Structure 1
Amino acid sequence: MDSNLEEHLQLKAFEGKFDVKDFIGSVSERLITQSKAEAGPFDPKPFIRTFEEAVDRLIKVRKDVQARTEQLERTVRTAEREYSKKMVDLNKGFEAVGNSFSGMETRMNEVGRTAIRIGEQLESVHLERQRAQAAYDLIDYYNQFSRDDTSKLDTLKKEGREGRRQVAVILRRLSTVAKEVDLPTAEKTRESIDKYCEKFEKDMLYLFDRCYRKGEPKMMHHCAQTLLDFNGGASCVQVYVNQHDFFINRIRETTTSNDTILWQALPDPERIPPKTESGLMELFAEIRKTVGQEAQIVQAVFPNPPYVMQVFLQRIFAQSIQQYVEQLLNKASTISDLAYLRMLQLVHLRTSHLVEDLKSYELPSVTPRSPVDAADFRRSMLNAPSAGTSASTASLSSMLESIMEELFVPYTEGQRYLEKESRSLGELYSSHLANFTRYHAKSQKGPSSMFDRMMNQLSAAASDTNTGGGLTSSSAQAAASAFMRFRGITTEKKPEPPTEEPLREEDGQLSIEVAEKMLKWHAEAIGRCVELTPNNDVPKHTFALLRVLAEAIGNAYIETALETTLAKLEASDPKAEPPLQLLSVLRLVDLICHLWQQYINIALFPLASSSVTVRREMVVFNNQTISRIEGTANMFMQRMTDAVVSWLSTQLTKQKKNDFKPRNDDLRTSNTEPCTACCEMLEKVCEAAKQNLSGKNLEVFLTEIGNAFHCLLLEHLRKFPVNATGGIVLVKDLKAYQDTIDTFAIPALHERFEFIRQLGNIFLLGPDILKSFITDSYLGRIDSALLRPYLAQRSDWGQFERGFNDEGEDTVPGLPESKGLKQRLGVGRLSMMMKDLEGLRIGEGMNMNIPSLPSGFTNSFSLSARAFGAGL
């Protein structure tokens, strides 16, 4: 066998990654080379012999491998049996050891329980022995006091710190026993014990004060602990607090700072409210520094640091902070209500920040150092004075919040704050609107003017303490009382000042800037209300301040301007052109109300969300206020409409009798004078309306004027005879009217005046085609009896009246009989004619949808913003 083939048939050739194709290729590689080298046909015999030898060799290798595998398997089975046997032996050994330990543990537990029982019995015996010894010693000390012998206690007191602590405990117990003993000499003994206790306390307090001045914290701690064991340690704490340098120094520094800029800014509503006061900031900075230092000292000196820290902070608030706050507020109250309220907010804000900082000094309670004194420590804490006990059980955070609430209760309790806020707003609005009020007061001299009505309402509201009831009666009364001086109105007649500023026209005009100032001042008041009042009172206080705002901006400002404008309109000369410039007040009213209502929706209503009842009342009240303003605006628009229509009617009466019946050679090229005057007025009305009205208000106003003028023209056309030449003049006038009305951009008016124009065409056409025109056009849908008054104005009507009447006597389908209709309409009354014209078409693709004429603007004018009670 070839050596190369022998190498490929070794066992190691199959140990790695084996590939059959590679193996066959390597075995037959040499044979393939020889076959290619030899000439002639392919000879398979060498390949067969080689593969046969390889197969034989592989069979032998497989047998060797199989024999070796069987031998190894036998060896492994033998090893596994031996391993299993060893593991069984080990498990048995471990179980034996575990059982030994379990038995040992059981025996140890039994011994431990026995030891515990013995220890408990020993402890009980020891405690009984201690109590017996303490009782014996207590009786012995009592007997010594009865003999006025205190030498033993004096000796014990001189033994140092531990002796003084024992004396403190003994004296506390003697005081308790002395109160219970009922013997003939008990009173004298009790007095002796009390005197000794008083002397001991004074000695310890003197020692504490001396160590405090020397700066010996360890000895101070001993004195504090001893006094705590003696009587709770309240006297020690008082000495520490009273002798503190902070309080001694602050007694000499009680004056407020002279910050000129601050005190000038406080009463000025135009300036931003100050956020700091130098003296207050210095005081609070010193408090922060002092408390930070004292927290460490208190924790090191006193065995009950939380109680001591609370007493110290209570003294700071009661003496330093409260005194300085009173000085600030008293000084501010002498300036103005606004200065007082701003200072109150400033102090409250800064104090709340101080309280939040002081909450970080929450000190942990200290346990007694000796377990033996645990019972004495607990009893001493329980026997401490009530003030100390209550303070020690309350957390520092809750105590600080309670102190801050008590600090501001005198200024915010009941209706005190709300009355101040309402009065302040009333004074601000009264001062700011002084010239405005004077201007309109002089413009309205009637006995039943709005000023008289408002004075009567406010007087009734201020005097009736029971009216309104519910949760807003007191606030409403406060707001009414605040407004008794608003705008210079009082129940008493005050003499006019001798000299007053001359009034200008601008003083009586509405202004967006003025409204923004009023809302800004109100928003500042609401901010103070949210900060200074409890959360439960915020909704009703917000409602009360909303009433103040509504009375000022709604009644005293907007309605006053509207009523004065209405009075000017009514007092204007009816023969002169209507004062269209007065419409500008509606634009300002709309803008101010929009700003006002946006403020209410965004700022005020959310504050009342916690009270559904108050929020609902606020929405109802606000909507009633807006409805009242809308009613006044509607009345003004109606009066303006009446004035415009009256002036147009007057101009139409100036139409000459022969304007539409000129001579044949007198053909004018221009419109008639009444037409020109009416068109000019309508153009002015359209321009003024578009400048000052918008949306539905503009549409309704122009529609009202257009409809009224349409009615005037229908009546006007029945009054003047028209000849062929005059028909041309008439059509020119009607075309001018239609073109002017088209500038209103209202489809309904366009349809009405298109009908007027077609009606004018009956004066242009000849008698021969007039019948066919009326029949084939839109006019054919109208009963001929309705057209008769207009046809009768034709100069040639007498020539073809008979023929026209013959056809007109036929009944029109779908209408009542002609005769009955004539009798019903008489000469064609305008109201019935307008009713019959509703909804008919004019020409191809033109719908005549004429709305019914409103009787007034009672429900037409609406403000651009109104509050709704969403979510109620």
Structure 2
Amino acid sequence: MKETKDGQRTGRISKSSPTDSHPLVLDIDDFKGDFSFDALFGNLVNELLPSYLDEEIDTSEGLGANDTMPAGHVRTHSDAGKASQVISSPLFPEVDALLSLFKNSSIQLIDLRKQIDKKLNNLKNEVATQDSKHRKTLSELEKGVDGLFDSFARLDSRISSVGQTAAKIGDHLQSADAQRETASQTIDLIKYLMEFNSSPGDLLELSPLFSDDSRVAEAASIAQKLRSFAEEDIGRQGMAVSSVMGNATASRGLEVAVGNLQEYCNELENRLLVKFDSASQRKELSSMAECAKILSQFNRGTSAMQHYVGLRPMFDLEVMNADVQMVLGDPGSQPIPSNVAHGLSSLYKDITDTVRKEAATITAVFPSPNDVMSILIQRVMEDRVPKLLERLLVNPSLAHPPPMEEGGLILFLKMLAVAYEKTLDLARDLSAIGCGDLDVEGLTESLFLPYKDVYIEYEQASLKQLYKAKMDELRAENQQASESSGTIGRSKGASIASSQQQISVSVVTEFVRWNDEAISRCTLFSSQPATLAAKVRVVFTCLLDQVCQYITDSLERSRDSLTEAAALRERFLLGTSAEAAAAAGESSFRSFMVTVQRCGSSVAIVQQYFANSISRLLLPVDGVHAASCEEMSTAMSRAEASAYKGLQQCIETVMAEVERLLSAEQKATDYRSPDDGFVPDHRPTNACTRVVAYLSRVLEAAFTSLEGLNKQAFLTELGNRFHKGLVNHWQKFTFNPRYFLIYFFIGNMRLWW
């Protein structure tokens, strides 16, 4: 191969003998790098084809010149002969050269392929040999690595063993050092113990350690250890002496050491307390903390804690007396619950703020601040608060309760509720500050437990006292009104007295208000549903008794008015006095109807109060709600019995007045028949007019006051009695049988309308 001018490799071709020579010589190196068969054979063809193309061009040019002459003459036969000679030569004379070239190239390529295949086989064999060697070497390396890992494992095990051995040696050395230190300390303790056990009360010959103020903490620790050891030894010795009773050679023991140690510890503790007080006055918290830390070794520091709490100014007697004056006001003045509540709120807020400030100091000074806070708050709840409650809550006598002018029992109950509620708030505030394991609310409950045990008895007595005071007030008002109006007349006075003693719904509403306040106190003092339900039932029973008594008394007073009016009717049958007695009866009738109406409204108020406020408190306990409903029904039935009797008296009053009017106003001529010579007169008679007018007045009051079945029963009974009385009245007169039935119905209609 050779390079052409444009850089392409071409075969070497000889044009003189293209078929015999082998111009193309291929080499393996020619196929390396960027090799292209298309470029190779293209260059070969390009070298052969241009000569053929030049000859073809020359031939075509010669033929064209002979075919057409410039002058336009036709070619001659000689020119045609020359052209035929040219055409008879081969059209592609280089084809043989190309075929030879291609065959030669094919042969050389086959030879080259065989050479390459041989080299590839040799290379494969060499690669296989090298791969086998590599695998063998790799296997040997893996075995070597496994051996290294085993060596490392053995080395690690040996290192671990050496480390454990070193640790054991260190532990033994540390234990030996600790034992040496313990032995040294034990020797010192024995020496100190012998010093304390020398002679009773002799503390002058002690080591300098026990008198050096700079080593107080160390001295306290050693003294406590010696004391504990000596007391334990005495205990063991006592058991041994009991087993060898009568042994005269028994050792004296460490009783002297115990006594001397106790005396020294007391002296040291007192010295520390004095130092602690001095630092407290100077407010040196660091010195206080140092003393408190040392004092914690004496009985866990209880004496220091109690000493600190006991010296707080908040427990001074003057401060406690000021508490009473702040809450109750000036001595001799009657306390007002609202003022007491305000005073307690202010006082308890001051106590809470003081405890909060003390908590900051206690946290900075004492090693166990929760224990100190527990002692402080316990002192507040067992000393300062009880002294205030003793002056604030004095149990009044139930046999001789204080009069209402001095507040009565209700004042004590209101003060108790205010004090309990505010003290509970104080307990919650103190618990929020922090008091360790102290149950502050439990302490509060224990403070009020004596009051809560007898509370319900005071509540019952208070409700009775309030009821009695209210009744006395109403009677006084009625008496004053009666005296101011003067004496007008017996019958008229009875009517006035009856109207002045009418039942008032506002009074029943006041009863309910008292009861609701009592229920709220029951809820405050009772946390358990069963206890609350029992107390609520007792209080509600008081309301039922009060309302029933008030209603029954009002009905009985109205009945007394009806009875008095009946007595007047029997006494005065004719004349002006009879009219006055009739007016008194009508007034009593109206008064009783108003009383019945207001009684119904009062009962409705009680029933509504029971449904809205009482039922939900009784339902959690089985049977209590049903029992209260039964009690309410029984109480109302007593009032209903009195009302029934009064309504019967009202009917008697109406019928008595109707009979009086008929007897006084009815004339025999009112029922004359046409046989007597008179034309029947269908106009109402005077008796009819007056009876109808009277019935209209009294029935208007009945229609207004009664309702439902009560109205129906009353009107039915009154109608039956009126019909019977009217028939009896007519039987006193003589009628024409022909017109008796007509007059009967006409008269009946006249009287009703």
TM-score (norm 1): 0.56
Match of 1:145 in 2: 196
User: For residue 176 of structure 1, what is the aligned residue in structure 2?
Assistant: 231
Residue 163 of structure 1 pairs with residue 218 of structure 2:
yes
Identify if the C-alpha distance between structure 1 residues 435 and 204 changes in structure 2 by more than 3 Å, giving closer, same or farther. closer
The structure whose RCO (Cα within 8 Å, separation 6+) is larger is: 1
CA shift in 2, pair 1:118/1:615, >3 Å: farther
Q: Which residue of 2 aligns with 1:314?
A: 378
Q: Secondary structure at the match of 2:681?
A: coil
8 Å Cα contact 1:295-1:309 kept in structure 2 = yes
Q: What is the Cα-based RMSD across aligned positions, in Å?
A: 4.0
Distance 2:171 2:709 in 1: 96
Residue 339 of structure 1, CA deviation: 2.0
Corresponding position: 1:629 with 2:639: yes
Matched letter for residue 189 of structure 2: L
Q: How does 1:461-500 map to 2 (within 5 A)?
A: none
User: Which residue number corresponds to residue 779 of structure 1?
Assistant: none
Aligned: 1:418 with 2:456: yes
CA contact (8 A) 1:204 1:227 kept: yes
Shift in alpha-carbon separation, 1:361–1:224, aligned structure 2, 3 A: same
Measure the CA separation in 2 of the matches of 1:736 and 1:714. 14
Write the distance in 2 (CA, Å) between the matches of 1:359 and 1:133: 49
One-letter amino acid of the structure 2 residue matched with residue 338 of structure 1: I
CA contact (8 A) 1:205 1:236 kept: yes
1:680: Cα distance to partner?
A: 2.2
Q: Summarize deviations over 1:644-683 as a string: whole Å, max 9, x none.
A: 2344355556654553333343432421334333322332
Paired residues of 1:284 and 1:354 also in contact (CA < 8 A): yes
Residue 253 (structure 1) aligned to one of 318, 322, 329: 322
Segments of structure 2 that go 5 or more residues without pairing to the other structure are 1-137, 238-250, 481-495, 571-580
- SS in structure 1 opposite 2:684? coil
Measure how far apart 1:505 and its partner are.
5.6
For the residues of structure 1 that align with 2:638 and 2:365, how far apart are their CA atoms? 72
3-state SS of paired residue (2:503): coil
Please show how residues 424-823 of structure 1 align to structure 2 within 5 Å.
424-436=462-474, 508-535=501-528, 536-555=530-549, 557-573=550-566, 574=569, 577=582, 578-579=585-586, 580-581=589-590, 582-649=592-659, 651=661, 655-662=666-673, 663-713=676-726, 720-722=734-736, 730-737=744-751, 740=753
* Structure 2 Cα separation of the partners of residues 331 and 716 of structure 1: 70
The answer to whether the 8 Å contact 1:658/1:721 transfers is no
Distance 1:554 1:261 in 2: 42
Partner of 2:103: none
Which residue does 1:401 correspond to in 2?
441
Q: Give the Cα–Cα distance (whole angstroms) in 2 for the partners of residues 647 and 561 of structure 1.
A: 24
Is 1:281 aligned with 2:353?
no
Specify whether residues 649 and 234 from structure 1 end up closer, same or farther in structure 2 by C-alpha distance, changes over 3 A only: same
Report the Cα distance in structure 2 between the residues aligned to 1:200 and 1:117, rounded to whole angstroms.
43
- Aligned to 2:338, the other structure's residue is in SS state coil
Alignment of 1:54-69 (within 5 A): none
* 1:477-530 CA-partner distances (Å, limit 9, x unpaired): xxxxxxxxxxxxxxxxxxxxxxxxxx9666522112222222212222222222
Given that 2:702 and 2:711 are in contact with CA atoms closer than 8 Å, whether structure 1 keeps it comes out as yes
Amino acid at match of 1:519: V
Report the residue type matching 2:546 in the other structure. A
More helix by share: 2
The answer to whether 1:349 aligns with 2:363 is no
Q: Which residue of 1 aligns with 2:262?
A: 194
In 2 relative to 1, CA 158–541 (structure 1 residues): closer, same or farther, beyond 3 Å?
A: same
Paired residues, number: 545
Q: How many angstroms does 1:723 deviate by?
A: 6.2
Per-residue CA distance 1:217-254 (angstroms, 9 max, x = gap):
22212222222123211110111112212223515635
Structure 1 residue 209 displacement after superposition: 1.1
Structure 1: which 5+ residue stretches go unaligned? 1-88, 268-272, 364-391, 443-502, 741-872
The answer to whether the Cα contact below 8 Å between 1:667 and 1:725 also exists between their aligned partners in 2 is: no
Bigger drift between 664-673 and 210-219 goes to 664-673
Paired residue type of 2:635: T
Q: Call closer, same or farther: CA 1:688–1:130 in 2, change over 3 Å.
A: farther
Change (3 A) 1:681 1:110: farther
Summarize deviations over 1:421-446 as a string: whole Å, max 9, x none: 2222222221111154579999xxxx
Separation in structure 1 between the aligned mates of residue 167 and residue 701 of structure 2, nearest angstrom? 106
**Residue of structure 2 in register with 1:481 after alignment:** none
The 1:228–1:162 alpha-carbon spacing in structure 2 relative to 1, beyond 3 Å, is: closer
What is the CA-CA distance between 1:587 and the residue it aligns to? Answer: 0.8
Q: CA deviation at 1:120?
A: 8.0
Aligned 8 A contact 1:439 1:508 in 2? no
How far apart, CA to CA, are the structure 2 residues paired with 1:169 and 1:426?
A: 66
Q: Where do residues 225-304 of structure 1 align in structure 2 (5 Å cutoff)?
A: 225-248=293-316, 250-251=319-320, 253=322, 255-257=324-326, 273-274=337-338, 276-304=340-368
